[in-house]
Amino acid sequence: MKKWSLFIGSYSGIKVFIHWTFWIIIGWIFMMHFQMGHGWAEGIQGALFILVLFACVVLHEFGHALTAKKYGIPTRDITLYPIGGVASLDKMPDKPAQELAVALAGPAVNFVIAGVLYIFLYVNDQLLPISEIDHMTGGNFWFNIMAANVILAVFNLIPAFPMDGGRVLRAVLAFNMGKLKATTIAARVGQFLAIVFVFLGFFTNFWLVFIGLFIYLGAGAEEVHESTKSALTGYTAKDVLIRQYTRLLPGETLEKAVQLLRNTQEQGFVVVENDRVLGVLTRKELIRGLSAYGNTFPVSNVMRKDFVIVTPDMPLQQVYEKLMTNNAQLAPVLEDGRLMGIVDVKGINEMVMMKKALAKKDGIAKA
């Protein structure tokens, strides 16, 4: 169970969750109907429309997830939020053709759903003019669902990260250039469109302002992520291995962990017993444990047991991906089952900053 999320089922090993904030949009739909003078029947129909539409969103995300699975990339889960769904892929494929297939799979699902509904409506003589698209007051439920799927697919194909269209644009560009350069160009296009959305939002629909900000930040984050990965090329976990670190025994208290954090610059600790790693304790788990149980509680009860494990020769790009994907700050490094040391996000970021500083110095010297 993800925190603040409700598990509703799974398919092909991929769990589906609904985040608690999703229910805000259901309440908002009810409120909108009542403000328009509608009764309970219209409010319930409006909520049902949203639920069916988000079922289509889940299928959209499964399009991404199952296509990625075909290329050996697992998906941890799919979570529904008020703004849409998120499929937590371990990573996007490195090959442009594969990334293109994964990115297009989601919108393709929506086009297929719309196509099936179009045939159904056509056969039953229920097609309406485009001007009739309005789920708040429209009378044809399935016509509006069809139209919403088309809109959802087209909107996701806007060439801006973090939407599918941004990944499509990067994949197409990456056929003729490096992935970092392709990401930079796609991110710049996305940020330009984001600025346009924000500008238009002030004069038309204020939701465009929020969408624009979401796109701008997402595009910037994708560019930073890819530039970091590029800077780590050719390095392994051994290059950032920390050999001097603190080990905790499972029975030691949270109070001792707090004292150690105050007296060191460490990001967290590994919990070890008989040279076997049992878990990882970072500030996040420590604070959560202190607030829930107090400082006399043993670290074994709050440590993270689903920790990332890396090997000394694992490419640093892969280490970084694992840490980011699992929202982990550090990972033990094991060789033949023996604990060699740890790697942490701080150490990786410091290496990236030093590489960028040296590259900048060399560029100035050449100029």
Read off the pLDDT of each residue in 171-183 and give the average, rounded to a whole number: 91
Is 40's pLDDT higher than 80? no
Q: Render the burial of 186-223: b for 16+ CB within 10 Å, e for the rest.
A: bbebbbebbeebbeebeeeeeebbebbebbbebbeebb
Is 55's pLDDT higher than 90? yes
Most confident of 3-12, 120-129, 338-347: 338-347
Share of the chain above pLDDT 90, in %: 32
The predicted structure's pLDDT at residue 132: 58
Share of the chain above pLDDT 70, in %: 93
Q: Put the strands of the sheet holding 14-19 in their side by side order.
A: 5-11, 14-19, 75-81, 84-89
Take residue 350 and report the two structure tokens written for it: 């410091």
pLDDT tens per residue, range 1-39? 466 788 888 898 899 998 888 888 777 777 776 777 777
Helix (H, G, I), strand (E, B) or coil at 5: strand
Read off the pLDDT of each residue in 262-280 and give the average, rounded to a whole number: 85
Take residue 216 and report the two structure tokens written for it: 């701008």
Read off the pLDDT of each residue in 265-272 and give the average, rounded to a whole number: 84
For every residue of 314-357, DSSP letters joined together read: SBHHHHHHHHHHTT-SEEEEEETTEEEEEEEHHHHHHHHHHHHH
Read off the pLDDT of each residue in 186-197 and give the average, rounded to a whole number: 92
Take residue 16 and report the two structure tokens written for it: 């589906």
Is 309's pLDDT higher than 60? yes
Residues 278, 250 contacting (CB under 8 angstroms): yes
Is 134's pLDDT higher than 90? no
Take residue 3 and report the two structure tokens written for it: 């925190």
The predicted structure's pLDDT at residue 80: 87
Residue type, 308: V
Residues 219, 161 contacting (CB under 8 angstroms): yes
Mean pLDDT of the chain: 86
Is 366's pLDDT higher than 60? no
The predicted structure's pLDDT at residue 207: 77
The predicted structure's pLDDT at residue 149: 94
Residues 277, 339 contacting (CB under 8 angstroms): yes
Three-point CA angle 174, 179, 182, nearest 5°? 65
The predicted structure's pLDDT at residue 113: 96
pLDDT band at 139 (very low <50, low <70, confident <90, very high): low
